[in-house]
């Protein structure tokens, strides 16, 4: 649940620049969080070197891959429908191969391959480098599977092939896996234990993006604040590191500062943060550098101490609120967003009201809100009865959503009359005469095009707003250009 799922991007197929020498066609679709979309770029890069060009036409593909998510039941049901569609096409094109990547691959490997026989290969999140070998197995008529979770694999040496439709913003993975065993979450079981990527390979990737004209990057991980490089290996094994390794280790605030100083004209975002790992030192780095965006996605999941304990969240309500106070003091212009679960097992009306009162305390700018759905393989799925009635979950979720909408209006109105810096990302959906981009706080801003262009940093005076969008007039280019 720590992973932001952008509903507008679900099922996007990746189409990249073709290599004339490649003869085979790859259709790849992604579902789930930003990490999955980033992983699909890695997969496309590996297969591009293996003779595949991407296509957006399913029917002409030699290889169809779906990068999957296990975070919610809805995501799994959607992917199963897509697999049915692929197999219907496959009946008319028997040479087409179908594969499942990502989190569902790890969790449902035997079902997909042996019981239901709906795919030819199953590849877990740490096995993408093995794809050429697995495809060779499939060509020989054998099922292929690799879902082994690696202690080292971070794809630091693979330069992802970017989806170039935007060319302005990009995702840069810095960690994989997670050590926080939240009882509702499948990530530790599908992506393995936490390991960090070598800092210089991160800097090299960002340098490459800068040279290609990208203006903003998001440092990406299940828990970025927990980043720790000490020469490789799992984070949990850092206790056994040598004195030299400990003395030269790089943590997240140091990495963030390295990137900010190294690329002063590039905007830097990061996601996702975990409350118990966001230390004050990180906040001081955010406050110090104007190119680090003033937005912190800080999932809380519940405002009830009892439910937080049931979820195995490693923070209390009071600790979370103290962190919010610290953010407001050190980075006063920061926006804060949330993840929230309604109807976790045993949740009472009093627990729900604790969540509502926490929301009133923080007044988040925006959030990602779900009703609890039991995920097989999680601790909650194994040990807790999903005992909150669906109607009660739906009501509580609606109350959370309604309160968030009220707070989003409140936070949007705070910007009216102020001038904000906007990175122009695209033409507005509603009007071809307007540009759309985000400010430092990750709020969408729309303004008349005039003579500006996509990729410009523009100062915009906000004149009006909705709960999710700011509207204004450009007053000139910012110093970030």
Binding-site residues for [4Fe-4S] cluster, in ranges, read 33, 69, 103, 178, 182, 185
Q: Are strands 457-465 and 469-477 parallel, antiparallel or unpaired?
A: antiparallel
Q: Are 445 and 469 in contact (CB under 8 A)?
A: yes
The Cα–Cα gap between 202 and 174 comes to 7
Q: Are strands 419-427 and 457-465 parallel, antiparallel or unpaired?
A: antiparallel
Q: Are 472 and 460 in contact (CB under 8 A)?
A: yes
In whole angstroms, how far apart are CA 75 and each of 11, 31, 69?
10, 7, 6
Strand ranges (E), 335-431 = 335-342, 366-371, 419-427
What sign for the dihedral angle of Cα 157, 161, 163, 165? positive
| Encoded tokens for 61 | 């593909």
Q: In a 3-state reduction of DSSP, which class is residue 163? A: coil
- Please list, in sequence order, all residues whose beta carbon lies within 8 angstroms of the beta carbon of residue 283, skipping any fewer than 6 positions away: 326, 327, 330, 331
Numbered residues of the known binding site? 33, 69, 103, 178, 182, 185
The residue written with tokens 């189409």 in the block is: 15
Cis omega (within 30 of 0) for bond into 272? yes
The Cα–Cα gap between 316 and 339 comes to 15
The Cα–Cα gap between 254 and 263 comes to 14
Q: What is the dihedral of CA 69, 70, 71, 72, to 10 degrees?
A: 100
Q: In a 3-state reduction of DSSP, which class is residue 91? A: helix
The Cα–Cα gap between 161 and 475 comes to 36
């Amino acid at each position: 649940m720590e992973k932001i799922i952008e509903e507008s991007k679900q099922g996007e197929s990746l189409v990249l620049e073709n290599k004339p020498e490649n003869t085979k066609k790859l259709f790849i679709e992604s579902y789930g969080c930003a990490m999955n979309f980033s992983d699909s770029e890695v997969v496309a890069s590996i297969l591009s070197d293996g003779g595949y060009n991407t296509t957006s036409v399913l029917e002409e593909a030699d290889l169809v891959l779906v990068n999957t998510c296990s975070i919610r039941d809805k995501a799994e049901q959607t992917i199963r429908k897509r697999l049915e569609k692929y197999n219907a096409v496959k009946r008319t094109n028997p040479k087409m191969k179908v594969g499942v990547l990502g989190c569902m691959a790890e969790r449902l490997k035997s079902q997909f391959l042996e019981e239901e026989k709906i795919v030819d290969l199953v590849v877990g999140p740490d096995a993408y480098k093995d794809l050429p070998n697995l495809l060779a197995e499939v060509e020989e008529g054998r099922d292929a599977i690799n879902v082994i979770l690696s202690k080292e694999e971070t794809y630091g040496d693979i330069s992802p092939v970017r989806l170039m439709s935007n060319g302005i913003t990009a995702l840069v993975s810095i960690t994989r896996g997670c050590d926080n065993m939240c009882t509702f979450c499948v990530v530790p079981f599908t992506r393995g234990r936490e390991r960090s990527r070598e800092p210089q390979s991160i800097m090299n990737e960002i340098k490459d993006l800068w040279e290609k004209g990208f203006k903003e990057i998001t440092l990406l991980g299940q828990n970025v604040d927990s980043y720790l490089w000490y020469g490789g290996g799992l984070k949990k094994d850092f206790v056994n590191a040598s004195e030299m390794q400990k003395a030269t280790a790089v943590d997240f605030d140091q990495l963030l500062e390295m990137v900010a100083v190294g690329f002063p004209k590039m905007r830097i975002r990061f996601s996702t943060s975990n409350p118990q790992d966001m230390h004050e030192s990180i906040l001081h780095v955010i406050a110090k550098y104007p190119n680090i965006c003033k937005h912190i996605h800080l999932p809380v999941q519940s405002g009830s101490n009892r439910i937080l304990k049931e979820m195995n969240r490693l923070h209390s309500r009071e600790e979370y609120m103290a962190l919010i106070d610290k953010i407001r003091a050190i980075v006063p212009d920061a926006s804060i967003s949330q993840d929230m679960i309604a109807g976790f097992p045993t949740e009472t009306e009093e627990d729900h009201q604790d969540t509502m009162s926490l929301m009133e305390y923080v007044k988040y700018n925006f959030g990602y809100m779900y009703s609890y759905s039991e995920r097989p393989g999680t601790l909650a799925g194994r040990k807790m009865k999903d005992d909150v009635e669906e109607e009660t979950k739906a009501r509580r979720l609606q109350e959370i959503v309604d309160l968030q909408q009220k707070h989003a209006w409140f936070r949007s109105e705070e910007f009216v009359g102020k001038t904000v810096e906007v990175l122009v990302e695209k033409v507005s959906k509603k009007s071809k005469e307007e540009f759309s981009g985000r400010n430092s706080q990750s709020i969408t801003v729309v303004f008349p095009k005039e003579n500006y262009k996509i990729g410009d940093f523009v100062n915009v005076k906000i004149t009006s707003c909705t709960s999710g969008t700011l509207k204004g007039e450009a007053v000139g280019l910012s110093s970030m250009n």
